[in-house]
């Protein structure tokens, strides 16, 4: 029997690499694509040499061509942390607009089903709590986070346009904070930032007064949600995340207990437009996908800490541009 073929963009990134593993495990032939602007080829090198895996170094903001039939496309190519999209704002906008357009065109040409990775950032600094899919958001389009927020909002709009106008089979995942092995330690997001600071013996930096909240979903749960959404018949956006909400101060204390370190918590000013609350309403995912997170934060953090603690000293002291601290 011929294997189903799936294109995964952003395949060398945190989520993309786990998706490669999952869809190979599901018996598919995976075509991985990444330009490595924020991805790391080491995340997928264990798959090189397999007959059911191929990798292409390519920027999807340029024309995308894939030989042969294609059944599915997962569009996960995008910078995904503030430190990334503040450094490369134009590329962030292009991959969310031009890149999405290219991949929707490819999906149309191949008659393939496409799932795009949207984000909880489409809700901005929300005035509704928790956030459900029918909330339109509170986004500053010209603020420092606007390049990411608006790229993803445009991505959703053009995806739905292809669905309604061309009849394309599309899926939209609004992904909330996700963590686990293969995250970049110094990508600026709070979980790897705290663990990295603890491993380096530094004080933990909390922005603002620490009462802002986040909800963290372990990567295995998120990947299962993506798989279920792709295989579903639901075309409108679906929140995927863990509704177990925690303040940043409480989270910092958890990391200190986890790592057994004696670091203090220090406070810096809150970045512009940083959301004060973030908690997904996953009622729709439960109903349409029969999905909800299974991994408790204590278990997921232990696995993640073990991964980070095995990193080399060079990786531990690199920032996003490869410079020493």
Q: Which residues are catalytic?
A: 148
Instruction: Indicate if the alpha-carbon torsion angle 180, 183, 189, 191 is positive or negative.
Output: positive
Whether the Cβ atoms of residue 28 and residue 231 lie closer than 8 Å to each other: no
Whether the Cβ atoms of residue 275 and residue 125 lie closer than 8 Å to each other: yes
The tokens for 144 are 């420092």
Degrees to nearest 5, angle at CA 64 with 115 and 85: 65
Residue located via tokens 């340029």: 62
Q: Which of 78, 125, 160, 122 has the alpha carbon at shortest distance from 240?
A: 122
Whether the Cβ atoms of residue 95 and residue 60 lie closer than 8 Å to each other: yes
Cα separations in angstroms, 153 against 111, 219, 286: 24, 23, 23
The tokens for 23 are 């869809």
Q: 3-state DSSP call for residue 107?
A: helix
Q: 3-state DSSP call for residue 7?
A: strand
Cα separations in angstroms, 73 against 107, 127, 294: 7, 33, 26
Q: Which of 8, 133, 15, 155 has the alpha carbon at shortest distance from 80?
A: 15
Whether the Cβ atoms of residue 172 and residue 298 lie closer than 8 Å to each other: no
The tokens for 259 are 């790592």
Under DSSP, the state recorded for 59 is -
């Amino acid at each position: 029997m011929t294997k189903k073929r799936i294109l995964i963009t952003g395949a060398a990134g945190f989520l993309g690499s786990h998706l490669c593993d999952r869809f190979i495990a599901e018996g598919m032939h995976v075509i991985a694509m990444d330009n490595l602007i924020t991805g790391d080829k080491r995340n997928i090198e264990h798959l090189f040499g397999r007959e059911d895996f191929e990798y292409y170094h390519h920027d999807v903001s340029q024309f995308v061509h894939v030989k042969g039939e294609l059944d599915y496309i997962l569009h996960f190519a995008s910078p995904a942390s503030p430190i990334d999209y503040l450094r490369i704002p134009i590329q962030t906008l292009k991959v969310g607009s031009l890149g999405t357009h290219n991949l929707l065109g490819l999906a149309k040409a191949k008659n393939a089903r496409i799932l795009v990775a949207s984000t909880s950032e489409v809700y901005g600094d929300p005035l509704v709590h928790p956030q459900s899919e029918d909330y339109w958001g509170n986004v500053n389009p010209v603020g420092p986070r606007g390049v990411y927020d608006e790229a993803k909002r445009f991505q959703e709009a053009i995806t739905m346009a292809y669905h309604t106008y061309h009849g394309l089979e599309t899926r939209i995942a609004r992904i909330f904070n996700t963590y686990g092995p293969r995250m970049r330690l110094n990508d600026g997001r709070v979980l790897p930032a705290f663990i990295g600071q603890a491993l380096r013996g530094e004080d933990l930096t909390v922005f603002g007064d620490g009462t802002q909240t986040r909800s963290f979903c372990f990567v295995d749960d998120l990947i299962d949600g993506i798989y279920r959404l792709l295989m579903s018949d639901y075309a409108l956006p679906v929140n995927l995340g863990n509704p177990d909400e925690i303040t940043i101060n409480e989270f910092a204390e958890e990391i200190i207990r986890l790592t057994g370190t004696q670091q203090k918590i220090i406070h810096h000013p809150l970045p512009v437009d940083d959301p004060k609350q973030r908690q997904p309403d996953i009622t729709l995912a439960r109903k349409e996908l029969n999905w909800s997170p299974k991994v408790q934060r204590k278990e997921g953090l232990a696995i993640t800490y073990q991964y980070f603690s095995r990193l080399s000293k060079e990786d531990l002291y690199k920032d996003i541009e490869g410079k020493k601290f």
